[in-house]
Amino acid sequence: LHIGVLVSILSLITYCLIRDRHRVRDLSGKHIFITSCDTGLGNSLAKWLDKRGFPVIAACVTERGRQDLQSCCSSSLKTVNLNLADSSSIARAVLFVTEETAGKGLFGLVNNAEGTPPMAPTDWLRIEDFHSVLEVGLIGLIEITLKLLPLLKKAEGRIVNLINAKGLVALVGGGYSLSKWGMEAFSDILRIEIQHFGVKVSIIEHGFFKTGVISSDIIERDLLRLWNRLTPEIRDAYGEKYFVE
């Protein structure tokens, strides 16, 4: 019994020593840029890191999102407007990050794209439904990552890509799962290629959370919109019972 207790104590001490060796110290100048901080995971992470003393640059889609975040965080948290579907908006955000980091490089990039895209049987959708999702959740995230790579290399920083569990299993039609699978592949390739520069790439495959962006009411409304725009032939082929269920 005494030996067991001693082994447990030594294991705990060893764990604490190893953990402390990996703890980030001297947070000044270690800027972290997070996309999609209006609500949800990006918003929560920006607040959490700000409380712990990291200089956070939070990208928001809306002006209200920026104001709400700034009102409940410290003065060291900075916000910038970012529309991931707009290359000029991405360029402005990258310039803002470059100026804020003041030659120190970027310690962390957290890629997060939230929203409720059209999710329905594939032949209910049009090509523009796929474009609207992929331009934000895949192409936009890739573009901003590429443009921030020089800053990440300079700081030997890290990239953390928040990818929903649908990056592992496709459960519904539309571009959402496609964008997540694409980010999985992009992350795996990038991790190998830039490890030479001391930059780390991580994927967090999180579960489902109730946020202000995603709710069953919004999804049902969107399904009704898609159902109503279908041709009579496709509606008749599926039937009202299929749609209701």
Label residue 29 by pLDDT band (50, 70, 90): confident
Whether the pLDDT of residue 116 is over 80: the answer is no
Lowest mean pLDDT among 148-152, 210-214, 231-235: 210-214
DSSP state, residue 102: T
The set of catalytic residues is 176
Q: List alpha helices for the chain, DSSP H.
A: 2-21, 40-51, 63-71, 87-101, 127-134, 141-155, 175-194, 216-229, 232-238, 240-244
Q: Could you state, in order of their start, the residue ranges of all structural domains in the chain?
A: 25-212, 215-244
Residues 205 and 163 sit within 8 Å (Cβ to Cβ): yes
Label residue 10 by pLDDT band (50, 70, 90): confident
Amino acid at 161: N
Ramachandran angles phi, psi of 123, nearest 5°: -80, 10
Beta bridge partners of 59: 80
Amino acid at 146: L
Q: Report, as an integer, the average pLDDT of 191-204.
A: 96
Q: Report, as an integer, the average pLDDT of 225-242.
A: 93
Cα separation, 5 vs 10, in Å, equals 9
Please give the class, per CATH, of domain 25-212.
Answer: alpha beta
Whether the pLDDT of residue 46 is over 90: the answer is yes
CA dihedral (154, 43, 176, 210) positive or negative = positive
pLDDT at 19: 63
Q: Report, as an integer, the average pLDDT of 54-71.
A: 95
- Please, what is the Cα angle at 127 between 125 and 131, to 5 degrees? 110
Whether the pLDDT of residue 91 is over 90: the answer is yes
Cα separation, 125 vs 137, in Å, equals 18
Whether the pLDDT of residue 18 is over 90: the answer is no
pLDDT at 166: 67
SS3 (DSSP) at 202? strand
Considering the entire predicted model, what is its pTM? Answer: 0.85
SS3 (DSSP) at 223? helix
Task: Kindly list the distances between the CA atom of residue 30 and the CA atoms of 27, 51, 121, 125, 133, in Å, as whole numbers in the listed order.
Answer: 5, 14, 44, 43, 31
Residues 176 and 119 sit within 8 Å (Cβ to Cβ): yes
Amino acid at 31: H
DSSP state, residue 79: E
Report the mean per-residue pLDDT for the chain. 89
